[in-house]
Every structure is written in structure tokens, then in C-alpha cells.
Amino acid sequence: MDLLSTLLATVVALGLLVTIHEYGHFWVARRCGIKVLRFSIGFGPALLRWHDRKGTEYAIAAIPLGGYVKMLDEREAPVAEHELDQAFNRKTVKQRIAVVAAGPIANFLLAIVAFWIVAVVGFSTVAPVLGPVPAGTPAAEAGLRSGLELTGVDGTQIRSWQDVNLQLIRRLGESGTLEVTAKPFESGAETRYQLRLDDWLKGVEEPDPMAALGLTSWQPQIPPRLGQVASDGAAAEAGLQPGDLILAIDGEPVSDWLTEVVPTIQASAQQTLTILVERDGEQVELALTPRPKPANDVVVGYVGAGVEGVEMPAHMQRQISYNPLVAIPVAVTKTWEMTALTLDSLKKMLTGLVSAKNLSGPITIAKVAGASAKSGLESFLSFIAYLSISLGVLNLLPIPVLDGGHLVYYVAEWIRGKPLSERIQTWGLQIGLSLIVGVMLFAIYNDISRLGG
């Protein structure tokens, strides 16, 4: 059932993004008087096809990893005399630029609509209140402490932990000062704190910005009762079972999962611990040896077990929503910020400040699509918006084969007054295709590596 829901969420998300992108090309092409021969969602054999009154064929194909709009063009096939004025290549360079740019623009508009819906419907979030701040971390050295509510990062207002993460991601690989503002929870004046960054998490695979700074979220006391035990983990090997309540570790009583159990396990990689648990009203003693697992350039203990969840207190939860008019600038601003973040991340990846291992392919997209769909409408719509922005940015990169590459050709033609030579365009297409295929294979390799890990 999980696999089916993941596949369904992936098909819905990718299908919507591709349809909107190609419809952008299609809509502008029709407005420019260009004859559209085919509008296809997916590649390969057509599973379903039909025609409209203008002769355009619509198709849903077997491979749902893209799509295309095929237009009448003399460069691809002979065009009848009476249809020459409808050929793409006969249109002005400005019209061709408009047709090519319309696809990515449609993706940005989709992101705005998705963020607008989320803003109007509203969503629940947890107040960004700090939990324990480990000694020796940048947050502790700056003076941050448990119980403070984060209100800003680098001058940007903070309302949730997601906001915190997004602002921290902007600073990956950088040096300098990170400014954080915070105040006592629910009352008090704001105070500024300066955190020093020095090539912060430069080139680190799967960085955890909050943990690296020593920022933890406040959590209610969580009784150490196991909710999940991985069948191939150290916990299962030791005989731990779902429902077990951990009473003591090496003779020391424990009552909280996050502050007592987790730190002890993480600090005990490959060391045998004596675990006392309560099971069905009886006490059972077990020997548990956490396995080593790398995390932020250190090795921590890991046992493959999760705790039973508890509800966050009502006073720590927030419901954020906007009226439909106010939600418009909110959605536009969010789209702009995520576009800038995507471009900045690409630049840092190219310069080595961010590890290329963070590049994701279709497997990771499918996993995130499934997880976001399970989390609710707000999460799934936000995922679609983020993915749509990524698709829009990717297609605007000045790489032949992509929309951005075609835009470069047409802008050059506009400036020169004549097209680039066929030889130059052919070379560009070959180089661009090789680059895109290489990046796709590398992204898939990263996906497989994550699955193996």
C-alpha cells in the first residue's frame, strides 16, 4: 500500500508539473498563431490520444518523466505553402522567445498558486522554541539557551522551524557572522545573538544545519516507550520489542527519550549497554550494542528503534493563515525566495561550497512525494511548489537542449540580426545533451547510494 501511494503521489506531482510547463508553451504558441501538432504528457507509446478541432493531437504516453509540445516547423519536416505563416521558424524572434520562456514561467505561476492555497487554507506549525543547547556549540557560545523563542535569522522574520532551516541553508559553505534574534517564549524583549561561521559545513554530504549549530527544538517529556523497532537493527538483535518501556540504562534510571536515552545511545557506539525494560508488567534485562553511524563528521551510536509519539502541547502550536488578498504577496514572496535559494544552491554546488552529493534524482523525488502526500494537503502542495520552482530554474539554465539554451540562441539572433550557424547550434545541442544525461545519471547514482546507506 505504501508503494502504491508513493507511486500515485509521484505520478500526480510530476504529471501536474509537466502538464503546466508544456501548457505554458502551448498557450503562448497558439496566441502567436503557431500550429501545434502534438501536446504529449510523457514519452514513448501513447496510452491515450485524441484530437481537437484545430488538428492538434493530445497524448498521454507510457513514460511519465516529461512531455513536449510539437509545433509546425520547416526545420523538422516540409510545410505546405498555405501553412507557412503558422510555422514556428517563420515567427519573429520575440515571439519565439515568448513561446520558449512560457514553460518555465508557467512553473513559477504554479508555485505561486500552490503557496497561495496553502496560505489561505492555513497550516499548523510548532513554535521555534529552543530545547537543550549542547555546550561547546556555536549556539551555546553565542549565549542562546533553552526556552528562548527564535524570532529572526539574518534579519528575516521567523515563525516556524521550517523558516529557520530555510534561512540556515542559505548560509551553507559560508564564513562570517550569522545573526539570530530570540526572546523568552510568549513574552519579553528580543535579543540579538552572533554565531560565527567558518566555511560552515562546506562540502558536507547531507548537512544538518540546526544540529551543526547546536539548535534543538523544545520537546515535551517523551516517555521512553518504543513505538517501532527495525527488524535488522541493533535493538531487534538485542530483543527489544515495540511497547517496551525503558526504565534504566547501565543501572541509571531514565524517564525521557530525547534528553536521556538518545544521548546515551549516541555516545555508546559499539559499546554494550545493559537495558532494563518493562514488558507486559514484568521487568526484562537486555544487552544492547549500538552500531556506529556517521553524522556530521562524527560517529554516533544507532540502534534502529523509534519512540511512541506524544502530542505537542496546544500552547506550542500555531495556526498560520491569511485572507485571500494578503496571501497573494505572501505567495509571490515565497516563490521569489525559493527561486533565489535554488539558484544560490546551484552556484554553491558548482563552486564546491555545497556537496554535489545533495543532488537528487527521481527516486528521492518519489520518496519525498509519497511522504508529503501522507503528511497532508499543505505538505503536498508545498512539495509541488518547491519542485515546480526547481523545474522552472532548471529549464532556464543556459544549456542547449533546455529552454534556457534555446533562449540563448534566440537572444543572440535578436542581437546579431541573424541566427547562429547550424554548426554552432548542433555542437551546443550535443554538449548540452551530454551534460544533462551526465547530471541525471549522477543524480540517480546519489539516489541509489542513499538507498544503500
Kindly list the catalytic residues.
Answer: 22
DSSP, collapsed to helix, strand or coil, labels residue 164 as helix
The span from the CA of 235 to the CA of 291, in Å, is 10
The span from the CA of 219 to the CA of 209, in Å, is 19
H helices present in 352-421, as ranges: 362-375, 377-396, 403-416
Q: Which grid cell is 221?
A: 517529556
Is 366:3 a contact under the CB 8 Å cutoff? Answer: no
The span from the CA of 373 to the CA of 362, in Å, is 16
AA identity, residue 142: A
Is 133:146 a contact under the CB 8 Å cutoff? Answer: yes
Name the helix (H) or strand (E) containing 184: strand 176-184
Is 69:20 a contact under the CB 8 Å cutoff? Answer: no
Q: In the block, which residue shows the cell 505520478? A: 11
The span from the CA of 93 to the CA of 145, in Å, is 59
161-169 and 324-351 helices, crossing angle to 10°: 40
Sign of CA dihedral 6, 7, 12, 17: positive
Q: Please count the other Cβ atoms lying within 10 Å of the Cβ belonging to residue 323.
A: 9
Sign of CA dihedral 166, 167, 171, 175: negative
Name the helix (H) or strand (E) containing 274: strand 273-279
